[in-house]
Amino acid sequence: MNVIARSDTEAALVQAAHRVLPAGGFGNFASDIILREGRGGRVWDVSGNEFVDYLLGSGPMFIGHSHPEVVEAVLAQIPKGTTFFANNEHGIRLAEAIVEAFPCAEQVRFVSSGSEADMYALRVARAFRKRDRILKFEGGYHGMSDWGLMSLAPKQLANFPVAVPDSAGIPRSVQEEVLVAPFNDLETAKALIAAHHDELGAVIVEPFQRLIPPAPGFLQGLRDITAQYGIPLIFDEVVTGFRFCYGGAQSYYGVTPDLCTLGKIIGGGFALAAIAGRADIMAHFDRGLVGDDGFLMQVGTLSGNPVAAVAGLATMAVLKRPGAYDSVFATGRHLMAEIDGMLKKAGLPAQVLGEPTLFDVVFSAEPVRDYRGTLRGDAAVQKHVNTQLRAAGILKGDSKYYLSTAHDTRDVEQTLSAFAGAMATLPGR
């Protein structure tokens, strides 16, 4: 096990952060670690401690940190200009690549964050449909908008379809605009959609919700019922886009929505996200096609900026190569299988949940099909394991291993050794 030592420099930075940043951080990750650099599948903090990185910047570094081809593309672009607030060739080429890759994508509009992408996707669907309400799924994460932060992680469970705000500052009226259904419960979702079809502007879903795969037939059932009533179906692929396969979760699972949102990987580690979908819906971004009444205003200072665009294009070039996905899936399957074997050998009520490029352990023996199923997991054991992993040089979020194409045999061996050590230190073992 590594010895995680903290330098005076890092301690001073942590203290400074708590003076000038609310809760001492950026709102993302634990505030007691200050990262300095990343290369491949590893990162280093300012004290010099080295970690196998399964955080991956919350997912965008799918081909690893500081990939030489991404670095080369970015360094070539920076002297030519970093943003123009006008079209640039690289942004256009990136949009072409997205249209080529994603079955639902006929046109693309760039923004700077996944939260923006989800917000605008809901807005453009409402503009197209001329209806105000949306249906989402409990536990689904769709960014930081008022609508996105309804029933993401409710502390008090309500009867469906009542929405519960996850944040202070959200107008009460938003609750009336959001209907909530349980993920993977197609019959409940279909009943709610049928009952409220004339009020719904959109149905939005993570095709792979946090760690939970869709049940067989669930996504296709949503596709069928929304198509029946002419309601736009939005796949939030900010996480899954280019992660499960080159065409995202919609290609991986074989179900095509009307719109999707993308982020993380498409910017190659820089701020970039997108809404992509049917041309007749995307037309509402074009005043000349829909007129003043149907026009959706959207501007963003850094939208489609050339630095993020060249980083995204370089990333996609790597992912298009033969064997790129085969390799990362093989790494993920091996990790999942070995961890599952350790859990079974230890006799723990636990399961490895997810897909090979994005998974974690849920410490519960009961099947997990929806958000409420995740609540049955033993949070204390999860916290203990995560703490022990970090002490052994494994960096991950509270509930995810993000795999990258850069993770290698050495990373896997260190991870499995650290997980075995965490199992051995569980209270009562």
- E-assigned strand segments in 332-376: 351-355, 358-362
DSSP-based three-state secondary structure for 111: strand
Q: What token pair was written down for 327?
A: 């390799």
DSSP-based three-state secondary structure for 65: strand
Q: Read off the DSSP letter of residue 329.
A: H
For every residue of 393-412, DSSP letters joined together read TEE-BTTBEE--TT--HHHH
Strands 50-53 and 42-45, sheet pairing? antiparallel
Q: 165 CB contacts (<8 Å, ≥6 apart)?
A: 149, 150, 174, 175
Active site residues: 141, 236, 264
What is the spatial distance between Cα 294 and Cα 130, in angstroms, rounded to a whole number?
Answer: 9
Nearest to 214 by CA among 175, 244, 185: 185
What is the spatial distance between Cα 267 and Cα 356, in angstroms, rounded to a whole number?
Answer: 22
Q: Which residues lie across from 200 on neighbouring strands?
A: 133
